[in-house]
Amino acid sequence: MSVDVVILAAGQGTRMRSRLPKVLQPLAGRPMLAHVMDMAAGLDGARLHVVYGHGGATVPAAFSDMGVNWVEQAEQLGTGHAVEQAMPGIEDGSTVLVLYGDVPLVKAKTAASLIAAGTRGVALLTVRMSDPAGYGRIVRDGEGRIARIVEQKDAGPEELAIDEVNTGLLAAPAASLRNWISRLENSNAQGEFYLTDVVGLAVDDGVPVTAVQARDPEEVLGVNDKIQLAEAEAVVRRRRAEALMRQGATVA
């Protein structure tokens, strides 16, 4: 199976309060983006495309030894626009997996499950949160099927009460994704082209939209500031300690 992984890494990261681009912030001794790229590179048959913007050439320059298709998003016009920049380098017969450079804790098994589901239609990685503030809500119809995603800033009171949220990660057939992206509009509160709007377009086209549930919310932790970076650091350290202990080591 042909798989193209698009990693979105163009964000400015103003909340980091650092001159260093957000995706280059150090996590366990390496740039945060490196953790996402390593996981993606380990997926069977995957080709990597990284969309960068803020920070310019400093981002690809940090990974000169990796075989990656670097794509610049000169204007940050939304996630849908970002993925669109990478699509010319992707063949129609492929399955596209979209990841984020500031969501560094996703496990390969979860990504592989998303790819498998995305060969048949749109597959979303969702998670239930006790405090879903800031996340797009998964809106389902009367039969429990995914109907659309509503972003926090566009949500009404009923939608804000939903605890199943979109993590941003999705997979879909390349030809279909290309078509949906070309039909995106930016008539929303942010004035951006949302990748999440492909869900509504898929539903309109009669294409199945399925949810793959993340087993652990920590997998989809988004890192936007130094506090969240410290949280991600703790997770990485714990995972490494657990791996060593499974091999018989004692970690004090």
| Spatial CB neighbours of 128, under 8 Å, sequence gap ≥ 6 | 163, 164, 165, 213
Select from 119, 92, 49, 83 the least CA-distant residue to 194. 83
| H/E segment holding residue 95 | strand 95-100
Q: What's 112's DSSP letter?
A: H
Q: Distance between CA 122 and CA 114 in Å, rounded?
A: 9
54, 82 Cβ separation under 8 angstroms: no
Catalytic residue from among 15, 128, 237, 238: 15
Annotation says 15 is catalytic: yes
171, 211 Cβ separation under 8 angstroms: no
Q: Tell me which residue has tokens 């389902």.
A: 140
Q: What amino acid positions are annotated as catalytic residues? A: 15
